Chain A
Amino acid sequence: MHKIALGGNPNSGKTSVFNALTGSHQHVGNWPGVTVERKEGELKIDSERFTLIDLPGTYSLSANSLDEKIARDFIIDKKPELTVIVIDQTNIERNFYLVLEIIEMGRPVLLVLNMDDEARKMGINVDSDGLSKYMNVHVCKTVANRRVGIDVLKEQILSAVQRQNKPKVLKFSEKTEKIIQAIEPFFKDHDPDLRRWFAIKALEKDDFLQELVGEKAYEQLSQKIELIEKSIANETDILLAEERYAVIHGIAKEFIKRMLTEEDRERFSTKIDHVVTHRIWGIPIFAGIMWLMFQLAFYIGGYFVDAVDYWFSRFGDYLASVMGDSMFSAFITEAVIGGLGAFVVFLPQLFVLFLFISFLGDIGYMSRAAFVMDKFMHALGLHGKSFIPMILGFGCTVPGVMAARTLESKKDRVITILVTPLMSCGARLPVYALLGSIFFAGHEGSITFLLYMIGIVLAIIMARVFKSTFFKKEETLFIMELPPYRWPSARETFGQAFRNSWLFLKKAGTIIFAAVIIIWLLSVFPAGIDAPPQDNYIGDIGRTLEPVFRPLGFEGWEAGVALTFGILAKEIVVGTFGTLFTGQDFGELAEFAEAGLKGNLVQGLQTVFPNAIAAFSFLLFVLIYTPCAAALATIKQEIGWKWMWFTAIYLFVLAYGVSLLFYNIGILFI
């Protein structure tokens, strides 16, 4: 199995190339020890088999960020047989900066000149044969999202891996070469192939060299560089960047022809931006797009939710009628089917949200949204790109947590994920509606609004707290490209949404499924299925929790049971109260009223919550406490077990603290 790496700038079409090469043979995981997504795929060319490792998309390899460090260390330490670099031909000058940095490592590379359709339209013509001969690398052109040129790319990969050509060393100016030669002796005990690269890194003042050469030699090295800087009246890291761009300029002059149609696409993007990031219209347009997204997700999603619900319960009933009345049949129909239903029912809405997100990303709007919102988010200690995940959290925490992937720094990613559950998700709404209509009749709307606002304020506070406790020193950048608007291919956009949904099913599904089954078992053992729940373990849990929750104003064991079930999915809190007080499970008060059971439910709830203060304390608790199993599973998938447990616990403690404070202050006033 040959090991090859895939690198490239953000927005260069790297993901499209990866998908075109590997199709559905992909695994998604994390880089060891860090929370950066690591994708790996397999492909076969002739009879040779390859593993393609997708490096994080970066502008350079100066090990500035975690992403850059991962990409660089992989090429240096794991020595892939080939590094495939995807290049946006319409922005070749800047894209080549990364190419030069990779070539400096002296390992075989293959250049994929992507976006060939756009380049043609803009009158850009790259002489790929000339470039290939000059640089001694394989070069090919593609339109990755339409799968054009992929067969040739595969042939080239095979040939490049077999030939193992070392790219030509692209010399800088004589003056700079002399400086590099003066530094190289510091690395005479190290790999001769990497000597030049080490020297360049030294001139860029990369501190990983300190470990490589030892404290004393590093000291001498620094002194030497200081002397050089004095003599050239420039900083060596700036010098190297200038030299690289000079080399790129030379290459461009020699191998790139530009016809005069230029700037058409530029003008098109500029026109759109004129409206989309307009000083006055920018924010309303952003708000409108978000509104549309939720409308569609809940409208289309809601339609399917009913359908999925219906078919799952039909299927359950059918199985029950075939299998008869036994513990085993109850297990299958209630726990297994119910467990499957518990997360399949999410899927339609999630899919619509995922689709929207990948569409907005692919056309190039996401970076504009970040541009428009960054000032506000930065003031909160977050990043412009944190806004979308948090907004999504109002629909469902799961896509919110997954959307945090677009954040480049670990700090922003983790903090965004930690506070996204505080954005009150759609599943918590039925709880507000039920208790609101009983304890705050006529003011349900204001109560709900108030809860949403409290969630937002808490998210802001917690973001600040986390920033100043866990990530004190880390600074994050907003220096990035605003890519041109592109009409995406349906295949890429839908493909992305499908892959995310599938990932959710696979990774989160198992955990949700397990949680549903465990809770079901707790509610039927030891006394059996026909016994009321309070006689089973779940009743014990409720009774154990009763004294815990009493200081918050909840009287009775039912609250603890409802909150425990609520970890499966927040809307289940309502159903649980229904079952406990009436023996029936409905979603809303109106349905209980129809069934003539409203009285029982209201009475039951009024014993558990003797007054409105206690009821609101409960609502606060539901708003804040531990997110549902699906959200936790997604957090685990994105940033690992440790942060998942942290989220579960910190939110529980926060919920407890806030409710305790509210209740004890509140009762002083009644």
Chain B
Amino acid sequence: MKKGVMVYVSEMKVGTSGKVTAIKATSMIKKRLLAMGLTPGTQFKIAKVAPMGDPIELNVRGYRLSLRKSEASCLEADIVGND
């Protein structure tokens, strides 16, 4: 994936890192994503995809976060690197 390109987090490949740019979600999902530290500007890395392809695991703020692809698709990010 190209650096600097805007994507939905749900579309990012394992091993790529990104930076949150926007959250477009229902209030419930948004509040939880914010509480978990995925505020705009935060860096994260896609660490893993579950065996059946969903959910996914992110590394963010020094811990592991799991979320469904439908939830990850509420997050827009810029790609900042590939492994």
Residues of A within 8 A of B (CB): 59-60, 62, 64, 91, 93-94, 97-98, 204-205, 237-238, 241-242, 245, 266, 269-270, 273, 277-280, 282-283, 367, 371-372, 374-376, 378, 384, 475, 477-484
Once A59-B35, A205-B27, A237-B31 are accepted as A-B contacts, the answer to whether A478 and B51 lie under 8 Å apart by CB is no
Which residue in chain A gives the minimum CB-CB distance to B64? Answer: A482
Q: Is B33 an interface residue (CB 8 A)?
A: yes
Minimal beta-carbon separation of A377 from chain B (angstroms):
10
In the complex, what's the smallest C-beta–C-beta distance from A10 to chain B, in angstroms?
12
Q: List 26 A-B contacts (CB under 8 A).
A: A64-B28, A64-B31, A93-B62, A94-B37, A97-B35, A98-B35, A238-B39, A241-B34, A242-B39, A269-B64, A277-B50, A372-B51, A372-B52, A374-B50, A376-B52, A378-B54, A475-B29, A478-B66, A478-B67, A479-B67, A479-B71, A480-B65, A480-B66, A481-B66, A482-B64, A483-B64
- Apart from A378-B68, A481-B66: 12 A-B pairs, beta carbons within 8 A: A59-B36, A60-B31, A64-B28, A91-B62, A237-B31, A242-B39, A245-B42, A279-B51, A475-B28, A477-B28, A477-B67, A484-B64
Residues of A close to B49: CB separation below 8 A: 279
Q: How far is the CA of A372 from the CA of B55 in the complex (A)?
A: 8
Determine whether the beta carbon of B65 is less than 8 Å from that of A482.
Answer: yes
Main secondary structure, interface of B, reads: mixed
Within the complex, what minimum Cβ distance (angstroms) separates B20 from chain A?
10
- What is the CA–CA distance of A483 and B66 in the complex, to the nearest angstrom? 10
Given A282-B50, A374-B55, A478-B71: A238 and B66 interface contact (C-beta under 8 Å): no
Interface of A, secondary structure class, is helix
| B50 and A375 within 8 A (CB) | yes
**B67 to nearest A CB, angstroms?**
5
Query: Do residues A277 and B48 form an inter-chain contact, with CB atoms below 8 A?
Result: yes
Q: Report B45-74 CB contacts with A as 1/0, cut-off 8 Å.
A: 001111111110100011111111001000
Taking a contact as CB atoms closer than 8 A, the residue among A266, A376, A482 that contacts B57 in the complex is A482
Contacts A238-B23, A273-B48 given; does A94 touch B28 at CB 8 Å: no
Complex: chain B residue closest to A61, CB-CB: B35
Q: Is B4 an interface residue (CB 8 A)?
A: no
B51 touches A282 (CB 8 A): yes
Which of B27, B49, B63, B67 gathers most chain A CB within 10 Å? B63
Chain A nearest CB from B72 CB (Å) reads 9
User: Is B32 engaged at the interface, CB distance under 8 Å to the other chain?
Assistant: yes
**Bound CA–CA A659/B50 (angstroms):** 39
Q: Give the chain A neighbours of B71 by CB distance below 8 A.
A: 477-479
CA distance A230 to B39 in the complex (A): 19
Can you name the residue of chain B whose Cβ is closest to the Cβ of A482? B64
B71 to chain A, nearest CB (A): 6
C-alpha gap A169/B54 in the complex (Å): 41
A238 and B22 CA atoms in complex are apart in Å by: 10
Tell me the minimal C-beta distance from A365 to chain B in angstroms: 14
Interface size class of B (residues with CB under 8 A): 35 or more
B→A interface (CB under 8 Å)? 23, 26-37, 39-42, 47-55, 57, 61-68, 71
Chain A contacts of B34 at CB under 8 A?
Answer: 237-238, 241
**Across the two chains, which residue of chain A brings its CB closest to B67?**
A479
Bound complex: CA A661 to CA B49 (Å): 43
A481 to B58, CA, bound (A): 10
CB distance from A380 to the nearest CB of B (A): 13
Docked Cα-Cα span, A372 to B67, in Å, equals 12
Chain B residues, Cβ within 8 Å of A60 = 31-32, 35
- What's the Cα separation between A105 and B48 when bound, in Å? 38
For the complex formed, measure the closest distance between the CB of B50 and the CB atoms of chain A, giving whole angstroms: 5
Chain B residues, CB < 8 A from A376:
52
User: Bound complex: CA of A273 vs CA of B50, how far in Å?
Assistant: 11
Look across to chain A and name the residue whose beta carbon is closest to the beta carbon of B68. A478
Kindly provide the distance from the CB of A240 to the nearest chain B CB, expressed in whole angstroms: 8
Residue of A nearest to B41 (CB): A242
Q: Indicate if the CB atoms of A91 and B68 lie closer than 8 Å.
A: no
Distance of A308 Cα from B24 Cα, bound (Å): 59
Query: How far, in whole Å, are A242 and B68 apart by their CA atoms in the complex?
Result: 23
Q: A481 is contacted by which of B39, B41, B42, B64 (Cβ under 8 Å)?
A: B64
Residues of B within 8 A of A91 (CB): 62-63
Q: How far is the CA of A205 from the CA of B63 in the complex (A)?
A: 28
**B66/A375 in contact, CB under 8 A:** no
Q: Given A94-B61, A245-B37, A479-B33 in contact, is the A375-B55 Cβ separation under 8 Å?
A: yes
Q: Which residues of A contact B61 (CB under 8 A)?
A: 93-94
CA distance A71 to B17 in the complex (A): 35
Q: In the assembly, what is the distance between CA of A375 and CA of B39, in Å?
A: 26
CB contacts (< 8 Å) of A483 on chain B: these are 64
B26 contacts which chain A residues (CB < 8 A)? Answer: 475
A205 to B34, CA, bound (A): 14
Across the interface, which residues of A come within 8 angstroms of B33, CB to CB?
479
> A60-B31, A378-B68 are known contacts. Are A238 and B40 too (CB-CB below 8 A)?
yes
- In whole angstroms, what is the CA distance A266 to B61 when docked? 13
Alpha-carbon distance between A378 and B68 when the two chains are bound, in angstroms: 10
Q: Quick check: A242 and B40 within 8 Å, CB to CB?
A: yes
Residue B36 contacts which of A269, A367, A384, A479 (CB distance < 8 angstroms)? A479
In the docked arrangement, what's the CA distance between A87 and B37, Å?
16
Q: Which of chain B's residues have a CB closer than 8 A to the CB of A484?
A: 64
The answer to whether B63 touches A94, judged by C-beta atoms less than 8 angstroms apart, is yes
**A280 B65 Cβ-Cβ under 8 A:** no
CB distance from B55 to the nearest CB of A (A): 5
Assembled-state Cα–Cα distance A279/B52 (Å): 7
Given A237-B30, A273-B48, A277-B50: A371 and B35 within 8 A (CB)? no
Least CB distance, A334 to chain B, in whole angstroms = 52
Shortest B28–chain A CB gap in Å is: 5
Q: Give the complex CA separation of A662 and B64 in angstroms.
A: 49
How far apart are the CA atoms of A60 and B35 in the complex, in Å? 6
Residues of B within 8 A of A59 (CB): 32, 35-36
Q: Which residues in A have their C-beta under 8 angstroms from that of B37?
A: 93-94, 97, 245
Enumerate chain B residues within 8 angstroms of A245, measured Cβ to Cβ: 37, 39, 42
Q: Quick check: B51 and A280 within 8 Å, CB to CB?
A: yes
A91 to nearest B CB, angstroms? Answer: 5
